[in-house]
Structure formats: structure tokens, C-alpha cells
Amino acid sequence: MDKYINTPITAEKTEELKSGDYVYITGTIYVARDAAHKRMIEALERGENLPIDIKDSTIYYMGPSPAREGQVIGSAGPTTSSRMDKYAPILLDLGEKAMIGKGKRSPEVIDAIIRNKAVYFAAIGGAGALLSKCIKKSEIICYEDLGAEAVRKIEVENFPVIVVIDKNGNNLYETAILKYSNY
Amino acid sequence: MRKVHTQEITKNIKEMCIEANYYLSKDMDYAMKQAFETEKSEIGRKILNQLQDNLKIADEEKIPICQDTGMAVIFMEIGQQVFFEGDFLEDAIQEGVRQGYREGFLRKSVVKDPIQRENTKDNTPAVIHYSIVTGDKVKITVAPKGFGSENMSRVFMLKPADGVEGVKNAILTAVKDAGPNACPPMVVGVGIGGTFEKCAILAKKALTRQVNEHSHIPYVRELEEELLKKINGLGIGPGGLGGTTTALAVNINTFATHIAGLPVAVNICCHVNRHVVREI
Ligand code: SF4
């Protein structure tokens, strides 16, 4: 089913999202990959604050290619989420509600999704040019020295994603395959 | 003897890095269009359709097809009658990569050391495979490789008794484990035989073969066809969200091996299977 939602994605909104839904997201989201996640978690361990407002946040796992003059951002598709699995449960427990990436998640992440009524979306891997068109604004907010891996805040408009793991832990990667195996 | 100036190598490699990241080669483009025609799942068709749009936007607006513009893998097949003038050949190749990634607005995704992980900021070094061949030409293949799919690749040191069934299982296992992580529809490059490192290079080289071409060895060709069918029967589908298009091709290369071994390498590639070939 096609759905349109605005950020912040709250527990009320994840209530409505079911594994397999096609969702268009509009609003502000953060962008971070593994190097940035590692630094954020290290900051927490040192007792420092996170550089982002984590409550009801959406984090997109992505590292763009450089923008040409006049472009908001370069190619901007999802990266493999499993590299964030080590860090994601900590951020979910602190209030992160939605993650956008591609690929499988660990049982620990799935548990944290259920525990926090969160959601895991997949964006289309390898569609970076298309997805960049849905990004209307982009600013680096910290860790600029990480280059493509710096943390960004972006504004998206009708950004297309699919609910893979919903707040009940239903996992499209497992269910969809069964439907088409030996088709 | 034929003289080739290394400046020419630099210039070609620069152009090839850019070309590979903005336009899919004809064989891949055709395979992607075919996949849209034959895919059975609705969400799968939707994704394949969006991947078509993606290719169009990449081409028209000069945005890389995928933000992971890869680590540059380069095969240099050098005719033994070629004499290189100018700089050291390896430096000329790396310079081509450096210029291509800078001028093409491609992402710099290479770190200098695997443990210390500091970005080299120019996407060098490339991984270069040299071979000396007959003749007086230089054949260059540039194949930037994304790591979503590279990370799902495997080497299996099978026993001779595992036979062809063991090989099939190894390939299916690698593809199943890769699933959505490798941005399906995938292209599966396989190397069978040789030694531990040889089979991996064979698999990598297999990915640069046109996806509509088969091995000229009859049993290998049959194996390629059978495995493609089996892989598409796994149900993984476009984006791993279920469907009948999990792979576009299975390309297998074989080589002689030792009496005691049966090495198999499976190099998984995504639908952004980039390969540009030029002969100088
Ligand atoms: S696996 Fe391929 S399509 Fe997917 S993100 Fe990496 S390079 Fe892009």
C-alpha cells in the first residue's frame, strides 16, 4: 500500500506502518554511515551529548558522491545497513524511530525495533541518481573531516522507501522471498 | 615494437572511470530492460522501473548511477611488443584514476590502510591486474566495484569429491547470503580452479564479461544457464523484496587446478555492474 508521511516519524506513525508498505517521506532526516555512528557512540561513552537531536529522528545510511555546481547533492542511494547494526540498538533506545538503508539487520536490531516501536525502511539500492532528486536541501552538521561520511541534515520530499521491518518485527526480506521461491 | 605514451594511458583511464559511473554498458542496459519485461512481482517491477528512471537521470543530469562509485579495478592486458614511453606505467594508471574521480565528481571511497582507515581523498590506489599477451596493443578494462556487493563475495576451498554439485551449492549459498545486501538484481562472477588467489581473479574477470555472452566451454555454458535459473528461483528479487529477477547473469571462468583441490570464488556484483573496455 502507498502511504505518505511527514517527519518526525513518531511511535504514533510507526503504528500505521506495515512490512511491505510503500512509503513516501517528506521532511527533515539525518544522514550518517558507520564512521559517523562510531564517533557518535564514542561521544556517548565519554559522557558527551550527541551532535543530533535523536528523539523521534530518522537516520538515512548514506554517503553521497560530490555535488556539481547547482546540485543540492550528488548521487545519494542507501548503503548496507548491517554495518550499523552494532550501533543502532543504542540509538534506538535513545529515541531514534526510523532507519533507512538496504539489506538485512541483526536480531539485536530487530529486538530494539520492537522494543522501541521503531521501523526499518529500505531505499532502492543503486538508485542514487533518482533518490538525489528527492533531496531538496543538504547541510553538513558535524564530522566534516569524514568527507562523504560526515553527518548531514537533509530535507526530503516524497522520498520513496519500503517498510522492511515494522514495529512488530515482521520482516519483508523473509516473507517476500517465500512468495517467489520456485515461482 | 610499438611505442605507447603513458599520457595516453592516463587520459583513457580517466575517461573510462567517468564513463563507467555515468552510463551502464549496452549489455547491462539491455539486461535491465529485459528484466523489467519478465519480472513477475509487482514491487519488483516497480523497483526495476525506478532503476530505469535512475539510469535516465544519471545520463541526462550527470549524476553517478550509484553514489558508491567503487574502488577502481583495472585489468591491463599488455601486448609484449608494446614499449611504454613517459612515466612509470603504474603511476600513469593511478593518475588516470585520480583525475577521473576528481573531474567526474565521483565519490572518494578508498582508505589508505585497512586498519587505520584514513581516506586517500582521490580514490587511489586502484587495484591493477597486469597480464602480458601477444601483439602490440594494450587492452584496458576499467571496472569500478561497489562494496555492498563486494562484501558478500566468497572463496570456497572445496574438495575434488565435492564435484560440480559442491560448486553449485557454493554459488547458491553465496547468493542466498548476499540477498538484499548486494542490491539485486545481481551479476554473479565465478572462478573455478587455479589456486586460492587465482580463482578470485577469475571470478572478478568473469564480471567484466558481457552479460549476454556465455562461456565457450559447453559444460560451463550449461552450468551458467542452470545456475541462473536456480538463482532466479530463490525468490530474492529486485532489491531483495521478492521477485523472479535475482540475477541477470552467471558468468563462470575456469582454470587448471591441483589434483587435491577445487577452489571456487564467487564475486557478487550488483545491477550497477560497471565495465568499460578500450584497446589502444
Ligand atoms: S552494491 Fe552496487 S548498487 Fe548497491 S550501493 Fe554498492 S555499488 Fe551501489
Owner of C-alpha cell 589508505: B112
* CATH 3.30.360 boundaries in chain B: 2-20+65-145
Does the beta-carbon distance from B121 to A172 stay under 8 Å? no
Q: For chain A, which domains are there? A: 2-180 (3.20.130.10)
Chain B contact set for A103 (CB, 8 A): 148, 179-181, 240
- Average pLDDT for runs of 10 along chain B of length 280: 97 98 95 96 95 96 96 98 98 98 97 94 97 98 96 98 98 97 97 98 98 97 98 97 97 98 98 97
CB atoms within 10 A of CB A54: 20
- Is there a contact between B76 and B140 (Cβ–Cβ < 8 Å)? yes
Cβ pairs A/B, distance under 8 A: 171
Nearest to B56 by CA among A130, A76, A71: A130
Does the beta-carbon distance from B67 to A77 stay under 8 Å? yes
Q: Which long-range contacts (CB under 8 A, 24 or more apart) does B85-89 make?
A: B85/B3, B85/B4, B85/B5, B85/B6, B86/B5, B86/B6, B86/B7, B87/B6, B87/B7, B88/B6, B89/B6, B89/B9
C-alpha cell recorded at residue A119: 521501523
Spatial separation of the C-alpha atoms in residues A1 and B117, rounded to whole Å: 42
Nearest to A136 by CA among A8, A25, A17: A25
Eight-state DSSP code of residue B184: S
pLDDT at A147: 87
Spatial separation of the C-alpha atoms in residues B105 and A182, rounded to whole Å: 42
Of A104, A133, A181, the CB nearest to B235: A181
CATH number of B2-20+65-145: 3.30.360
Spatial separation of the C-alpha atoms in residues A132 and B57, rounded to whole Å: 10
Q: Which long-range contacts (CB under 8 A, 24 or more apart) does B22-27 make?
A: B22/B58, B22/B59, B22/B62, B22/B64, B22/B65, B22/B104, B23/B55, B23/B58, B23/B59, B23/B65, B24/B55, B24/B65, B24/B272, B24/B273, B24/B274, B25/B210, B25/B274, B25/B275, B25/B276, B27/B210, B27/B211, B27/B212, B27/B213
For a pocket test of ligand 1, which of B67, B152, B270, B271 has the largest count of ligand atoms closer than 8 A to its C-beta? B270
Q: Does B67 touch chain A (CB under 8 A)?
A: yes
DSSP conformation letters of A64-127: PPPPPTT-S-S-----BGGGGTTTHHHHHHTT--EEEEBS---HHHHHHHHHTT-EEEE--TT-
Each of the 183 residues of chain A gets a pLDDT tens digit; together they read 799 999 999 999 999 999 999 999 999 999 999 999 999 999 999 999 999 999 999 999 999 999 999 999 999 999 999 999 999 999 999 999 999 999 999 999 999 999 999 999 999 999 999 999 999 999 999 999 988 899 999 999 999 999 999 999 999 999 998 999 876
Integer-rounded Cα Rg, in Å, for chain A is 16
Q: Give the distance from residue B244's alpha carbon to the nearest chain A alpha carbon, in angstroms.
A: 6
Kindly provide the residue ranges of all beta strands, DSSP E only, lying in B89-224, ordered along the sequence: 127-133, 138-145, 154-158, 186-194
Exposure string for A70-92, b = 16+ CB within 10 A, e = fewer: ebebbbbbbbbbbbbbebbbbbb
The pTM (predicted TM-score) of the whole model is 0.95
Termini Cα distance of chain B = 14
pLDDT at A182: 78
Q: Give the distance from residue A2's alpha carbon to the nearest chain B alpha carbon, in angstroms.
A: 11
Termini Cα distance of chain A = 23
Spatial separation of the C-alpha atoms in residues B206 and B113, rounded to whole Å: 28
Spatial separation of the C-alpha atoms in residues B193 and B41, rounded to whole Å: 37
Q: Find all residues with CB under 8 Å of A112, minimum gap 6, and list them.
A: A88, A89, A92, A93, A118
Q: Does B62 touch chain A (CB under 8 A)?
A: yes
C-alpha cell recorded at residue B95: 593518475
Cβ–ligand 1 contact at A125 (below 6 Å): yes
Tell which A residues from 30 to 89 touch B, by Cβ distance under 8 Å. Answer: 35, 62-68, 71, 74-77, 79-80, 82
Cα three-residue angle A96-A98-A100, rounded to 5 degrees: 125
Cβ–ligand 1 contact at B187 (below 6 Å): no
Tell which B residues from 187 to 216 touch A, by Cβ distance under 8 Å. Answer: none
Spatial separation of the C-alpha atoms in residues B94 and B136, rounded to whole Å: 22
With CA atoms as reference, the chain A residue closest to B151 would be A80
Cβ–ligand 1 contact at A66 (below 6 Å): no
Exposure string for B20-50, b = 16+ CB within 10 A, e = fewer: bbbbbbebbeebbeebbeebebebbbbbbeb
The H-or-E segment that residue A139 falls in is: strand A135-142
Report the share of chain B in percent with pLDDT over 90.
Answer: 99
pLDDT at B35: 97
The phi and psi torsions of B149 (rounded to 5 degrees) equal -85, -35
The H-or-E segment that residue B4 falls in is: strand B2-5
Spatial separation of the C-alpha atoms in residues B136 and B267, rounded to whole Å: 31
Does the beta-carbon distance from B236 to A71 stay under 8 Å? no
For a pocket test of ligand 1, which of A80, A82, A83, A124 has the largest count of ligand atoms closer than 8 A to its C-beta? A80
- Is there a contact between A79 and A35 (Cβ–Cβ < 8 Å)? no
